[in-house]
């Protein structure tokens, strides 16, 4: 249970790291409420606002030690030979590749250049998944794909990013120079602005500054959000924590049920071994020795259960890790052992006390 929660948290942190650090995002709509949680009805799915090239210029002038770069996003259909796919066309600049970690690795081509943007060269960089979907085994480099009737040459394939939960599937995006996308989609609206900060410490200042600048550009304060990845991360973590708590609650119920099972088994054991208890007392076992003996037996029993549980959990985690980012941590193993010992002690006390309080004579006579 906890391994699922932990896995999710780590997975999401990694996701954000792979999207670049020291970044501030400006997106349309109100994404967070005042308490930093995701606000209802917010998010980028119902984009009503868009930014302009003018906003970019003002931000660039207003923010020191930063790199500001725009991106527009439009749904399009891409075509290669007979294969057609719906995807999101991202028009952006050279900086996007560098500062958001989208540069193709060696042998996978390259990101486009400033020159290509200025010349409106018809080149395209494909996300990992869309390249797979459209080209399959064929190497997409230097092939031409058709977007809205334009032939674009594939010059690079981005490494796999993995889909972020609830967020866009970046692997299915295609990236082209912004000036080309403006022409293809017929407008120059900008949907997101990324601001890369030279120093991590400046991020909160930059967020404040960016907000002021955009408000001075006559945007309503509800119309846009300025946030950084840590903010996004903490909001998502809040959700996952709630999820983990719920899962732990379910686990706790099964622990109580299991504990009662152990208590039952131990009570039966004590009755079955009444004669043995009587004998041990007759030959000199004091009540504490008997108590300890049955308590240890209960703990061994529950720890064995814990061990089986950990093995099954590991197997289960392994099985679902194919579809879901679950992972086992040392702390969850220790927790499992700790909890099963505790269950053994808590639910073993009653039977062990019963055993230790038996009268030796009656216990010896017991058949």
Partner 1 sequence: MTKLSSNKNNSEIILELKDVVKSYNSGGTVFTAIKGANLQIKKGEFVSITGPSGSGKSTLMHIIGLLDNPTSGQVLLEGKDISKLQEHQLANLRNKTLGFVFQQFNLLPKTSALENVTLPLIYSDIPSSKRNDLGIEMLTKVNLLDKLKNTPAQLSGGQQQRVAIARALINNPKIILADEPTGNLDSKSGDEIMEFFHHLNKDEGRTIVFVTHDPDLAKQATRMIVIKDGRIC
Smallest separation, CB 294 to partner 1 (Å):
15
The residue among 189, 142, 198, 184 whose CA lies nearest residue 21 is 198
The residue among 137, 27, 127, 139 whose CA lies nearest residue 78 is 127
Smallest separation, CB 263 to partner 1 (Å):
24
Smallest separation, CB 364 to partner 1 (Å):
7
Smallest separation, CB 354 to partner 1 (Å):
15
The residue among 3, 12, 1 whose CA lies nearest residue 238 is 12
Which residues between 308 and 367 bind partner 1 (CB under 8 A)?
359-361, 364
Closer CB to partner 1, 167 or 360, in the complex:
360
Burial class, 272, CB count within 10 angstroms (exposed 0-12 / middle 13-18 / buried 19+)? exposed
Closer CB to partner 1, 84 or 275, in the complex:
275
Smallest separation, CB 350 to partner 1 (Å):
19
Closer CB to partner 1, 154 or 285, in the complex:
285
Smallest separation, CB 276 to partner 1 (Å):
6
Smallest separation, CB 361 to partner 1 (Å):
5
Closer CB to partner 1, 100 or 354, in the complex:
354
Closer CB to partner 1, 100 or 280, in the complex:
280
Which residues between 89 and 128 bind partner 1 (CB under 8 A)?
none
Smallest separation, CB 282 to partner 1 (Å):
5
Read off the DSSP letter of residue 141: T
Q: Please state, as a whole number, how many other Cβ atoms lie within 10 Å of the Cβ of residue 90.
A: 23
Read off the DSSP letter of residue 32: B
How far is residue 140's CA from residue 135's CA, in Å, rounded to a whole number? 6
Closer CB to partner 1, 200 or 275, in the complex:
275
Q: Cβ(19)–Cβ(101) under 8 Å?
A: yes
Q: Please state, as a whole number, how many other Cβ atoms lie within 10 Å of the Cβ of residue 366.
A: 15
Smallest separation, CB 360 to partner 1 (Å):
5
Residues in the chain: 367
* Dihedral class, residue 252 (left if φ above 0, else alpha if ψ from -120 to 50, else beta): alpha
> What string of DSSP letters covers 101-136?
T-PPPTTSB----HHHHHTT--EEEE-HHHHHHHHT
Locate 272 and state its tokens.
């079955």
The residue among 207, 201, 209, 200 whose CA lies nearest residue 226 is 207
Instruction: Provide the mask over 53-72, with x wherever binding to partner 1 is found by CB under 8 A and - wherever it is not.
Output: --------------------
Smallest separation, CB 349 to partner 1 (Å):
18
Closer CB to partner 1, 57 or 359, in the complex:
359
Closer CB to partner 1, 153 or 275, in the complex:
275
From start to end of the chain, where are the E strands?
23-28, 66-80, 83-92, 123-126, 144-147, 150-157, 173-177, 192-197, 224-228
How far is residue 164's CA from residue 152's CA, in Å, rounded to a whole number? 28
How far is residue 316's CA from residue 336's CA, in Å, rounded to a whole number? 15
Which residues between 253 and 312 bind partner 1 (CB under 8 A)?
275-276, 278-289
Instruction: Provide the mask over 208-247, with x wherever binding to partner 1 is found by CB under 8 A and - wherever it is not.
Output: ----------------------------------------
Number of residues binding to partner 1, judged by CB under 8 A: 18
Closer CB to partner 1, 199 or 359, in the complex:
359
Closer CB to partner 1, 245 or 289, in the complex:
289
Which chain residues interact with partner 1 by CB under 8 A? Answer: 275-276, 278-289, 359-361, 364
């Amino acid at each position: 249970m906890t391994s699922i929660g932990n896995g999710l948290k780590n997975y999401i942190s990694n996701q954000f790291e792979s999207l670049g650090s020291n970044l501030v995002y400006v997106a349309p709509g109100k994404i967070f409420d005042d308490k930093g949680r995701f606000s209802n009805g917010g998010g980028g799915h119902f984009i009503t606002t868009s930014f302009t090239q003018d906003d970019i210029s003002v931000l660039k002038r207003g923010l020191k030690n930063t790199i500001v770069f725009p991106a527009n996003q439009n749904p399009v259909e891409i075509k290669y030979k007979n294969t057609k796919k719906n995807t999101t066309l991202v028009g952006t600049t050279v900086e996007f590749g560098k500062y958001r970690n989208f540069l193709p690795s060696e042998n996978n081509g390259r990101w486009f250049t400033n020159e290509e943007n200025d010349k409106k060269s018809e080149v395209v960089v494909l996300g990992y998944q869309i390249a797979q979907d459209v080209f399959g085994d064929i190497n997409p480099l230097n092939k031409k794909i058709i977007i809205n009737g334009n032939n674009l040459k594939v010059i690079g394939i981005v490494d796999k990013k993995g889909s972020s939960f609830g967020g866009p599937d970046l692997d299915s995006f295609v990236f082209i120079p912004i000036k080309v996308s403006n022409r293809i989609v017929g407008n120059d609206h900008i949907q997101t602005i990324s601001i890369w900060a030279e120093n991590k410490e400046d991020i909160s200042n930059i967020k404040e500054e960016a907000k002021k600048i955009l408000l001075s550009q006559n945007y309503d304060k509800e119309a846009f959000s300025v946030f950084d990845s840590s903010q996004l991360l903490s909001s998502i973590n809040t959700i996952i924590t709630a999820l983990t708590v719920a899962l732990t609650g379910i686990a706790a119920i099964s622990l109580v049920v299991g504990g009662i099972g152990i208590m039952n088994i131990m009570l039966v054991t004590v009755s079955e071994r009444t004669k043995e208890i009587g004998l041990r007392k007759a030959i000199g076992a004091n009540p504490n020795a008997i108590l300890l003996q049955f308590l240890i037996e209960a703990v061994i029993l529950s720890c064995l259960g814990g061990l089986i549980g950990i093995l099954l959990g590991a197997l289960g985690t392994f099985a679902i890790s194919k579809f879901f980012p679950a992972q086992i941590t040392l702390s969850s193993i220790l927790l499992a052992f700790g909890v099963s010992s505790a269950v053994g002690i808590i639910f073993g006390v009653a039977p062990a006390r019963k055993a230790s309080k038996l009268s030796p004579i009656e216990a010896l006579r017991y058949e």
